[in-house]
């Protein structure tokens, strides 16, 4: 597997995992409102990705 393929396949999962870890830790260790907001935003990205792709695959099925 070429290096670029590997990155193409795993880039998003790794990115989402990094965002999730950041969100969990910033809510745990941060005390200010800004850290909690950052945690809410970063933890919402996997949910948005799920909604976006679930919607897209539904549309693809209906088109066929």
- Looking at the Cβ atoms of 1 and 60, the one nearer to other proteins is 60
At residue 5, what are phi and psi to the nearest 5 degrees?
-65, -45
Question: Which of 8, 15, 10 lies closest to 42 in space, CA to CA?
Answer: 15
Which of positions 1-40 make contact with other proteins (CB under 8 A)? 24, 27-31, 36, 39-40
CA distance 14 to 49: 13
Give the nearer residue to other proteins in terms of CB position, either 18 or 44. Answer: 44
Site residues for other proteins per CB under 8 A: 24, 27-31, 36, 39-40, 43-44, 46-47, 50, 53, 56-57, 60
């Amino acid at each position: 597997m070429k290096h670029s393929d590997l990155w193409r396949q795993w880039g998003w999962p790794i990115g989402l995992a990094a965002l999730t870890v950041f969100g969990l830790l910033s809510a745990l260790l941060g005390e200010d409102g800004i850290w909690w907001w950052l945690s809410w935003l970063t933890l919402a990205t996997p949910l948005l990705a799920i909604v976006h792709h679930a919607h897209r695959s539904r549309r693809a099925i209906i088109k066929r």
